[in-house]
């Protein structure tokens, strides 16, 4: 409930540099009279400007400033709500917008949008709703029935205090959009992390495969070389055995050489003897006397000696032949031994070569073994890669968990969104109130002597059934009938507001409602209803002062004196 206390303004439209002030809380019905242009409707602009920063009529802000003084346009409104006293000060040239709560200025920096703060948290009404329940004017006032269904919905939601659901819906919508963005980003992050994981995994697999292949290769080489060593060792054994065997043959060399020497010596002795025997034979054959004693050599002796000597020669020749044969044999044997010795040497060279090969191969195996150790050390460097893969995996799991959380959160928000959208909770509440609204409208219409059956449906479309006629819409009706409908709706909104204790106010201003289309009957009926309203400060702006004045406890008169509007008490 907003209890307006005072409204004052200066340098607004035709008002000059002195405040025009209205008391809004003395529970009276005030008739506002004055000539055209005297400044009556200015009070509506003052009130709307103070609360919403824009005039009730379609006048832009610079044009609100009094054109003579052209500065210092100030409007102030004071009211109580939620057990607090508020004062709003608004000005043009210079621009002022101040909200005072219990005499203290509300920090402008604390609320991002000062106006929004005022509408949402203090007066809890927006411009549209305010003008539907506080002001009924002829000028630039759009009756409820001429508003779009969206605007109708907004006003009713405001009245029923269910705009919080729209606000919540807005927040949920933003959150949903945000979550959708976050989900998309998260999916993208997961994709990137997955790619990173796959690359790292491939890198590790490649490294491992390379290592394994190298290890296999080196192991294969080591085993091949070990086989070679074994083959070489086998050969050495064979060669050594052969050398051992051949060595036995060579062992006879000294003996054979001694034999040859002996045979040669014997041979030379025999040949020496043979030469002596032949010389002796030659002596006996050519000499008949002894050269020493000069005695003749006996023939018998000579023959005997010759026979003996010839026998000896024959024996020597025979012996020589035998020795020659033996020598040839022994020499052949010695040659064979020499050949064997050569063979042994060759074999020993082979053994030495094999030994060298074995040594070299062993060295090579050692080198391969060292390389294997190095490969194993390389395996420990892939541990670093494994650790990195592990970290990526943890991040990936985290991201996936976040995504799950987001998806879960999204489902909650989607559920909330469904509840909060127009067809959700709000429709349920509106559905509950629609029969009450329709009942109230019909009650007020009947009070205004207008007997029709008005019905507003869930989509805020009206059908109006007259008693004798078919279904009508608002536009079918005459101006006076329309005005009755407008009045009935306004009174209904006020009643609903009172029921809800939400957007209720103690102020009602009717600008020329009685002047245009209402007939005498309508005027009287309306006055009756207005008098029945409780706790309301009613301001009725009218040119029909003469007819209406006895129906009001209070009359104020506006006059324009020297181009400035004033209230004449
Ligand atoms: N910027 C301005 N500076 C000075 N006067 C202005 C300015 N804008 C409008 N006016 C005048 O202020 C007056 C506004 O009066 P207002 O509309 O309140 O009259 P009213 O008493 O409601 O008249 P009516 O009975 O014709 O509705 C008009 O005379 C208008 O010409
Ligand atoms: Mg007017």
Question: What integer pLDDT is reported at residue 477 of this predicted model?
Answer: 87
From the CA of 43, the nearest ligand is: 1
Question: 3-state class of 290 per DSSP?
Answer: coil
This model's pTM is above 0.85: no
39 C-alpha to ligand 1 centroid (Å): 5
Structure tokens at 429: 């509440």
Structure tokens at 433: 């109130």
Cα–Cα dist 128/131, whole Å: 5
Higher confidence at residue 391 or residue 517?
391
* Cβ contact 300:309 at 8 Å: no
**Cβ-count burial of 301 within 10 angstroms (0-12 exposed, 13-18 middle, 19+ buried)?**
exposed
| 379 pLDDT higher than 80 | no
The mean predicted confidence, pLDDT, of the chain is 90
Nearest CA to ligand 1 atom 9: 13
Nearest CA to ligand 1 atom 11: 14
Atom of ligand 1 nearest to the CA of 34: 21
Place of tokens 């609204």: 437
Question: What integer pLDDT is reported at residue 141 of this predicted model?
Answer: 64
Cα–Cα dist 256/327, whole Å: 10
Superfamily of domain 186-386: Helix hairpin bin (1.10.287.510)
Long-range CB contacts for residues 401-410, cutoff 8 Å, separation at least 24: 402/186, 403/183, 403/186, 403/187, 403/190, 406/179, 406/182, 406/183, 406/186, 407/183, 409/179, 410/176, 410/179, 410/180, 410/183
427 CB neighbour count, 10 Å cutoff: 15
Q: Which range has the worst mean pLDDT, 186-190, 289-293, 499-503, 555-559? A: 499-503
Average pLDDT over residues 382-394: 89
Question: How many degrees, rounded to 5, is the angle at CA 367 between CA 361 and CA 371?
Answer: 140
Which CATH number is 3-147+500-568 given? 3.40.50.300
* Cβ contact 78:3 at 8 Å: no
**Is it true that the peptide bond before 94 is cis, omega within 30 degrees of 0?**
yes
The 3-state secondary structure of 328-363 reads HHHHHHHHHHHHHHHHHHHHHHHHHHHHHHHHHHHH
Residues with Cβ within 8 Å of 77's Cβ and at least 6 positions away in sequence, in order, are 4, 6, 7, 46, 47, 50, 51, 87, 88
318 C-alpha to ligand 2 centroid (Å): 182
Nearest CA to ligand 1 atom 31: 37
Average pLDDT over residues 84-103: 96
Q: Which protein residues are within 6 Å of ligand 1, measured from CB? A: 13-14, 34, 36-42, 63, 65-67, 558
Question: 3-state class of 123 per DSSP?
Answer: coil
Each domain of the chain, given as residue ranges in start order, spans 3-147+500-568, 186-386
Residues with Cβ within 8 Å of 5's Cβ and at least 6 positions away in sequence, in order, are 23, 24, 25, 78, 79, 80, 85
Question: How many degrees, rounded to 5, is the angle at CA 435 between CA 81 and CA 502?
Answer: 5
74 C-alpha to ligand 1 centroid (Å): 16
Nearest CA to ligand 1 atom 2: 13
Q: Choose the most confident range, by mean pLDDT, from 153-167, 258-272, 364-378.
A: 258-272
Place of tokens 């060669």: 239
Structure tokens at 393: 């995996």
Question: What integer pLDDT is reported at residue 474 of this predicted model?
Answer: 86
- Provide the pLDDT confidence category of residue 407 given band limits of 50, 70 and 90: very high
Q: Give the tens place of pLDDT for each residue, 197-214.
A: 999 999 888 888 888 888
Residues with Cβ within 8 Å of 313's Cβ and at least 6 positions away in sequence, in order, are 274, 277, 278, 281
């Amino acid at each position: 409930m907003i209890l307006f206390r005072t409204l004052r303004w200066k340098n607004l439209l035709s008002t000059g540099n002195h405040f025009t002030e209205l008391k809004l809380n003395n529970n009276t019905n005030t008739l506002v009279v004055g000539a055209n242009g005297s400044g009556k409707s200015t009070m509506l602009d003052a009130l709307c400007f103070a609360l919403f920063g824009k005039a009730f009529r379609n006048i832009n802000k610079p044009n609100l400033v009094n054109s003579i003084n052209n500065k210092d346009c100030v409007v102030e409104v004071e009211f109580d709500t939620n057990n607090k006293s508020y004062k709003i000060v608004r000005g043009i040239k210079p621009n002022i917008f101040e909200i005072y709560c219990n005499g203290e200025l509300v920090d402008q920096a604390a609320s991002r949008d000062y106006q929004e703060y005022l509408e949402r948290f203090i007066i809890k009404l927006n411009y549209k709703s305010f003008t539907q329940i506080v002001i009924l004017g002829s000028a630039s006032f759009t009756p409820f029935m001429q508003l779009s269904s969206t605007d109708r919905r907004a006003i009713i939601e405001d009245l029923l205090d269910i705009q919080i659901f729209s606000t919540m819906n807005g927040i949920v919508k933003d959150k949903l959009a945000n979550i959708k963005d976050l989900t998309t980003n998260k999916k993208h992050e997961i994709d990137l992390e997955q790619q990173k994981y796959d690359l790292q995994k491939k890198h590790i697999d490649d490294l491992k495969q390379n290592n394994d292949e190298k290890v296999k290769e080196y192991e294969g080489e080591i085993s091949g070389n070990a086989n070679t060593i074994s083959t070489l060792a086998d050969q050495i054994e064979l060669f050594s055995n052969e050398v051992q065997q051949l060595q036995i043959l060579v062992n006879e060399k000294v003996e054979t050489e001694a034999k040859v020497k002996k045979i040669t010596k014997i041979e030379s002795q025999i040949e020496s003897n043979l030469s002596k025997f032949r010389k002796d034979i030659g002596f006996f054959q050519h000499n008949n006397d002894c050269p020493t004693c000069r005695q003749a050599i006996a023939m018998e002796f000579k023959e005997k000696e010759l026979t003996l000597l010839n026998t000896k020669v024959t024996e020597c020749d025979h012996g020589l032949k035998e020795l020659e044969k033996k020598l040839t044999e022994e020499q052949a044997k010695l040659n064979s031994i020499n050949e064997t010795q050569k063979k042994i040497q060759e074999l020993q060279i082979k053994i030495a070569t094999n030994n060298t090969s074995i040594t070299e191969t062993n060295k090579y195996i050692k080198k391969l073994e060292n390389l294997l150790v190095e490969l194993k050390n390389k395996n420990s460097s892939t541990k670093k890669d494994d650790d990195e893969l592990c970290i990526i995996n943890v991040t990936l799991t985290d991201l996936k968990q976040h995504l799950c959380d987001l998806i879960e959160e999204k489902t909650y928000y989607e559920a909330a969104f469904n509840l909060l959208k127009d067809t959700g909770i709000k429709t349920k509440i509106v559905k509950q109130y629609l029969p009450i609204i329709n009942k109230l409208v019909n009650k007020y219409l009947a009070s205004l002597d207008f007997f029709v059956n008005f019905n507003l449906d869930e989509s805020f479309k009206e059908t109006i059934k007259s008693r004798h006629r078919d279904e009508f819409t608002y536009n079918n009706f005459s101006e006076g009938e329309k005005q009755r409908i407008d009045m009935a709706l306004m009174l209904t909104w006020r009643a609903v507001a009172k029921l809800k204790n939400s957007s209720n106010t103690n102020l009602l201003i009717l600008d020329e409602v009685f002047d245009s289309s209402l007939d005498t009957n309508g005027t009287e009926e309306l006055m009756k209803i207005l008098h029945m309203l409780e706790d309301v400060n009613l301001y009725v702006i009218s040119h029909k002062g003469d007819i209406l004045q006895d129906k009001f406890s209070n009359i104020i008169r506006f006059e324009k004196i020297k181009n400035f509007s004033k209230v004449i008490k």
